[in-house]
């Protein structure tokens, strides 16, 4: 999460898009990014197998179209894979990265997910 939350910030900066990254860990926060809210609701519905999955899928389709929906499904799938690989192999986060990201981690309350591996 740390790596891709930073890529999110960098991408929003480079493309001059509005962003409130706290939405990553707090779904009550509006991410401000175009189609951000339906995308977050969709991720939550897929991972929690929520009953409103079909509604969130339709909202994503309306917001970003069919190719956007397929991209969102692909990204969810890829990170379902990569998260398991990182956790199961004990992928460490370097000391330099930890030092550099102290404020960012505090803003998003990321350290609650830290354990001996990461």
Partner 1 sequence: MAFDFPAAVDVRSDIGRLFRREWERLARPGTWFGGADRVAIATAARAARTPGAPPVNHELVEAAETVAARPATIRRRWVQSVTREIGFAPYVELVGVVSRLVAIDAFHVAIGAPLEPLPEPERGEPSRIEERAARPGAAWVPMVGGASITQALSLVDAEASAQEDMHGPLYLTYEEMAELDYVRGLSRAQMELVAARTSAINECFY
Footprint on residues 10-29 left by partner 1 (CB under 8 A) = 10-12, 14-15, 17, 19, 21, 23-25
Task: Tell which one of 30, 62, 100, 114 touches partner 1 (CB under 8 A).
Answer: 114
Judged by CB under 8 A, the chain residues 55 through 84 that form the site for partner 1 are: 57, 64-84
106 binds partner 1 (CB under 8 A): no
Confirm if 60 and 39 have CB atoms less than 8 A apart.
yes
How many Cβ atoms are within 10 Å of 110's Cβ, its own excluded? 17
48 touches partner 1 (CB under 8 A): yes
Q: Tell me the CA distances in angstroms from 81 to 5, 31, 74, 91, 110, one per residue in order.
A: 17, 24, 11, 14, 20
């Amino acid at each position: 999460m740390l790596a891709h939350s930073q890529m999110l910030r960098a991408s929003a900066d480079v493309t001059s898009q509005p962003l409130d990254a706290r939405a990553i860990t707090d779904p009550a926060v509006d991410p401000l990014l175009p189609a951000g809210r339906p995308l977050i609701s969709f991720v939550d519905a897929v991972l929690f197998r929520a009953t409103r999955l079909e509604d969130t899928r339709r909202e994503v389709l309306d917001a970003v179209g069919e190719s956007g929906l397929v991209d969102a499904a692909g990204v969810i799938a890829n990170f379902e894979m990569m998260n398991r690989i990182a956790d199961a192999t004990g992928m460490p986060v370097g000391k330099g990265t930890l030092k550099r990201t102290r404020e960012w981690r505090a803003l998003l309350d990321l350290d609650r997910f830290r354990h001996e591996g990461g």
